[in-house]
Structure 1
Amino acid sequence: MSSESDSVPAKVSRSARYRIGQVVRHRVYPFRGVIFDVDPTFSNTEEWWNSIPEEVRPVKDQPFYHLYAENETSYYVAYVSEQNLVPDDTGEPVDHPEVGEMFGDLRDGTYHLHAELRH
């Protein structure tokens, strides 16, 4: 006889590959940014999810990152799956105007939270 636990998929515990303050870039699209928050799994609207073309739509069961993002022409907030991010190794600062409100100095590819924001 099978128990209830046999029919319920086990939750996979997974930690985020990237951290708050880290500078990353998108694997496909030409933008980069600073991570300011992380969701352990997809936590946006279905409308947003369905707006992504199916052939490039990432899986939901992975960390998603909130970025202060920039490209050649604008600044914005991006929501990106872990599979679509890579570390940015340029060492260049991110010019997004909100970076300075949350973070201090950029050292070794990572911005450090202002002391009053640290837990």
Structure 2
Amino acid sequence: MIEKSRIAKFRIGQVVQHRHFGFRGVIFDVDPEFANTDEWYEAIPEDIRPSKEQPFYHLLAENEETEYIAYVSEQNLMEDETGEPLRHPQLPEYFAEDEDGDFISYAHTLN
């Protein structure tokens, strides 16, 4: 059986927004398909539960009240176009920020 490769639509360091819940975040890791627990997956209401066969993104996420880590399917993300700064306290652990305000992974700055 030939497995088709999964190409992520979004990249590490990109600021995205959740389509339904509106929270924003920066992608710090990507799974080519679902790689969390079945318990986590089953906790999502069935009528909005995404397919496991798509990229899932780890985000340094925030909403108006708090900052947290989120795990979100590609179908539920869109590019953030607000241009608003992010305040997540873990951003400096993962990224350097360039003069344009873009997030550059430290893994890419080691060259």
Fold shared by both chains (TM-score > 0.5): yes
Candidates 67, 83, 104, aligned match of 2:96: 104
Unaligned stretches of 5+ residues in structure 2: none
Name the CA distance, whole Å, in 2 between partners of 1:15 and 1:39: 10
Name the CA distance, whole Å, in 2 between partners of 1:110 and 1:63: 22
Deviates more, 1:76-85 or 1:10-19: 10-19
Partner residue in 1 for 2:75: 83
RMSD, aligned α-carbons: 1.6
Name which one, 1 or 2, has greater alpha-carbon Rg.
1
Secondary structure of the structure 1 residue equivalent to 2:85? coil
CA contact (8 A) 1:93 1:106 kept: no
Candidates 36, 41, 44, aligned match of 1:49: 41
Secondary structure of the structure 1 residue equivalent to 2:12? coil
- Match runs of 1:30-49 below 5 Å: 30-49=22-41
Per-residue CA deviation, residues 72-116 of structure 1 (Å, 9 max, x unaligned), is 0000000000000000011222110001111111566741123xx
Deviates more, 1:32-41 or 1:105-114: 105-114
- Match runs of 1:52-63 below 5 Å: 52-63=44-55
Unaligned stretches of 5+ residues in structure 1: 1-7
Counting matched residue pairs gives: 109
Change (3 A) 1:80 1:107: farther
CA contact (8 A) 1:22 1:109 kept: no
In the superposition, the TM-score normalised over structure 2's length comes to: 0.91
Per-residue CA deviation, residues 23-62 of structure 1 (Å, 9 max, x unaligned), is 0000000200000000000000000000000000000000
Name the CA distance, whole Å, in 2 between partners of 1:13 and 1:113: 24
